[in-house]
Amino acid sequence: MLKTIKITSLIVYVLAIAALFAFVLLKGGETVVSDTHLEIYRDTENGFLNRDSLLTELQSVQITDSIEIKNLKIKNLEKKLLSNPYVNNADVFSGIYGELIVNVREKKPLVRIFNKTSPGYYLTAEGDILPLSKEYTARVFVVNGYLNVPLVKGNNSIYDTVYSKTELPGILKLSKYLSKNEFLNAQINQIYLNSKNEFELIPEVGKCTVILGSLNNIEIKLRNLQAFYKQASLTEGLDKFKSINLKFDGQIVCAK
């Protein structure tokens, strides 16, 4: 008898919770949007995105002020945000007090491309192409020299076929190696493509150019470069060298 009462009480409790949940959903849908809480997540204090411009984008899809939550076009709002080239992820949902909550993750540029005769752009570590911004300039690796890979409309990733035979995949590969190496990341601030289609590294301080040549065996070349840097800093220093040539396998040729 006692067991039956306990089971009955549990069933009644579950049904009550379900009814309450259904009531909240029903009434919640009729709640009018009270405010919009928008958060931009990124690794730097400033960036490409700002609150006002994103709110304007949302309002271009649907005027969210004083609208019932059940009438919000959540998917359309998210789709609009994701069409922004600087937006990596976007989540739009309603809070329990009627607020519209918008969370946006900004894309992080890794390297900036300076084309010789056409506008430049940024590349992310994932290979996304970001247009330049009048509002913000990111402090990242700079790539310049004999380089001219113009953007192709509708192709926003270096993995698109139109970019597969350009220098962009190699540039991204080199930039990722440098960024992951804490020591070299602090030493190098520029990648230069010379007239022979060879890669060179320009240091943050000093005038000692590093000639990489092709990107074949790039891991070995960068490992040798790091070892040379550390050894030179303990002995003669780098200022006496004009260039460090890593083009030849297993060799480091220095010019003074």
pLDDT band at 107 (very low <50, low <70, confident <90, very high): very high
Mean pLDDT of all residues in 243-250: 86
Contact indicator for 184, 222 with CB cutoff of 8 Å: yes
Dist CA 180 CA 34 (whole Å): 44
Contact indicator for 99, 33 with CB cutoff of 8 Å: yes
Position with higher pLDDT, 62 vs 66: 62
Neighbours of 23 (CB within 10 A): 10
Q: What is the mean pLDDT of the chain?
A: 86
pLDDT band at 8 (very low <50, low <70, confident <90, very high): low
pLDDT digits (tens, 9 = 90+) for 16-63: 454 334 334 434 446 888 889 999 999 999 999 999 999 999 999 988
DSSP element (H, E) containing 129: strand 129-131
Dist CA 152 CA 160 (whole Å): 10
Contact indicator for 136, 46 with CB cutoff of 8 Å: yes
- The amino acid present at 224, given as its one-letter code, is N
Dist CA 247 CA 238 (whole Å): 19
Dist CA 253 CA 216 (whole Å): 17
Dist CA 200 CA 191 (whole Å): 6
pLDDT band at 84 (very low <50, low <70, confident <90, very high): very high
Which residue reads 């259904």 in tokens? Answer: 22
